Amino acid sequence: MLFQWGMSRQKKRMDVKQEGPDHSGEASDVPQEPLSAELAVNIDIIRQKTGESNDVVIRRFALGQEWQIKAAIIFVDGLVDEKNVYEFVLTPLLQASFPLALEEKERFQWIEKKLAAVGGVKHISDWRKLFFELFSGATVMLIDGVPFAISASTKGGEYRSIEEPQTQIAVRGPREGFTESLRTNTAMIRRRIRNPNLWLETMQIGTVTQTDVAIMYIKGIANDEIVKEVRARLRRIDIDGVLESGYIEQLIEDQTFTTFPTTYHTERPDIVAANLLEGRVAVFVEGTPFVLVAPALFIQFFQAVEDYYARFDISTALRFLRVLIFFYFSCRSSHLYCSDNVPSRNDPDPARHRHRRSARGGAVSGIRRSARHGSDV
């Protein structure tokens, strides 16, 4: 167990020959075991599990009168806002007088009160949840003598600013597009649809990456069966990692080998908001600006961005024209393919087509005659 490893951290390390396959790096390598009550043991376990990475910052300090209680905060550099960490987490704890007579539950309530300026304060009792919160941008606090941890939401870091989408450029309409931040993307939809019936469900997919995936729909407009089916297909996904929404698109579609896309994707918030109002479900993935919309219809791919902002008669006429042109060129391409075997009126030697067909026919008939007489060709 991790506790036993921490107690024997000062012993001499011995090289042991590994037998069987190496499963290090898998999500199962982080067991769902309770934390230790000793601060030094917990810190050593964190260092061992993270390979003593330099971006995992461990800041030790003391609490209480005469600094009798040892504590530490842990965060990942680049995933947190360091100003919030030191100003709203560390400074209030250092300046406060920690009462020593409090019990474990009362200590948690006292610390939670001191961290009132920071949102998302959670109670952590196992290692799997601790590492998930740590690498999600939270600051984790450990206290000596307490077998649990406290996490505070201090997400930060560098993100790409909101820019005009590069794939779906519109002459008329908004000029903003999705980014790689999931919360920024969902907030842009919230600004357009200010209704409490706009529901959001978040889950983690990927046994190693633990990527945040969210589905958004309007309760009362979206079909409950469709929402249930999308939720069930996402929960059935069993994969090591999800790095882009294309992973999700291939794993939830019905037909894999098809030339027609079965899921619509876009990086424009206005298109996603319009599809939500039409009863569809949007799937957001952390780390990509492309949002999936399901279910997708064939006619939906003939719709342009400006169709939402033009008159309905003009938009309908333009969409009908696009469909007509599509089928026209589809039929013309088949004619061009077959025109090689059809003689033309202006062909100076139309007999060559007959000669080509007769040559093929003669070769086939010769093979048939040879087969009947039992001779080799």
Enumerate the H helices of the chain as residue ranges. 2-7, 39-49, 82-84, 91-95, 104-114, 127-134, 182-192, 224-235, 245-252, 269-277, 312-338, 351-373
Domain boundary among 258, 287, 308: 308
User: What would the pLDDT profile of 227-280 be if each residue is shown by its tens digit?
Assistant: 999 999 999 999 999 999 999 998 998 877 777 778 888 999 999 999 999 999
Q: Which letter does DSSP use for residue 35 in this model?
A: P
Residue 365 lies in a domain: no
What is the identity of the amino acid at 377? Answer: V
Same domain membership, residue 220 and residue 110: no
Whole domain around residue 124: which residue ranges?
28-153
Pull the structure tokens for residue 23: 């499963």
Domain boundary among 105, 133, 153: 153
Same domain membership, residue 289 and residue 233: yes
User: What would the pLDDT profile of 114-152 be if each residue is shown by its tens digit?
Assistant: 665 677 788 888 998 999 999 988 999 998 888 888 888
Are the C-beta atoms of 193 and 273 separated by less than 8 Å? Answer: yes
Same domain membership, residue 206 and residue 93: no
Confidence of residue 26 (pLDDT cuts 50, 70, 90): low
Same domain membership, residue 205 and residue 147: no
Residue 116 lies in a domain: yes
Same domain membership, residue 206 and residue 147: no
In angstroms, the CA 113 to CA 342 distance is: 86
In angstroms, the CA 101 to CA 150 distance is: 19
- The stretch 353-368 carries a mean pLDDT of 47
Residue 364 lies in a domain: no
Backbone angles phi, psi at 264, to 5 degrees: -90, 140
Same domain membership, residue 147 and residue 203: no
Same domain membership, residue 190 and residue 146: no
Give the closest residue to 305 by CA, choosing from 174, 125, 149, 122. 174
Q: Which letter does DSSP use for residue 57 in this model?
A: E
What is the identity of the amino acid at 168? Answer: Q
Which residues on adjacent β-strands are paired with residue 151? 122, 140
Confidence of residue 323 (pLDDT cuts 50, 70, 90): confident
Q: What is the pLDDT of residue 327?
A: 74
Same domain membership, residue 195 and residue 124: no
Residue 10 lies in a domain: no
Same domain membership, residue 254 and residue 202: yes
Residue 14 lies in a domain: no
Same domain membership, residue 41 and residue 133: yes
- What is the domain count for the chain? 2
Q: How many CB atoms lie within 10 A of CB 63?
A: 22
For the cut 70, the answer to whether the pLDDT of residue 64 exceeds it is no
Give the closest residue to 153 by CA, choosing from 188, 178, 124. 124
Give the DSSP H/E element, type plus range, for residue 120.
Answer: none
- Say which residue, 284 or 26, is predicted with more confidence: 284
Residue 317 lies in a domain: no
Q: Which letter does DSSP use for residue 302 in this model?
A: G
Domain boundary among 290, 308, 326: 308
Same domain membership, residue 233 and residue 141: no
CA angle (369 as vertex; 364, 374 as ends), nearest 5:
125
Residue 39 lies in a domain: yes
User: What would the pLDDT profile of 4-22 be if each residue is shown by its tens digit?
Assistant: 544 444 443 334 334 444 5
Same domain membership, residue 197 and residue 147: no
Residue 296 lies in a domain: yes
**Highest mean pLDDT range out of 288-292, 307-311, 313-317, 330-334?**
288-292
User: What would the pLDDT profile of 169-198 be if each residue is shown by its tens digit?
Assistant: 777 778 899 999 999 999 999 999 999 999
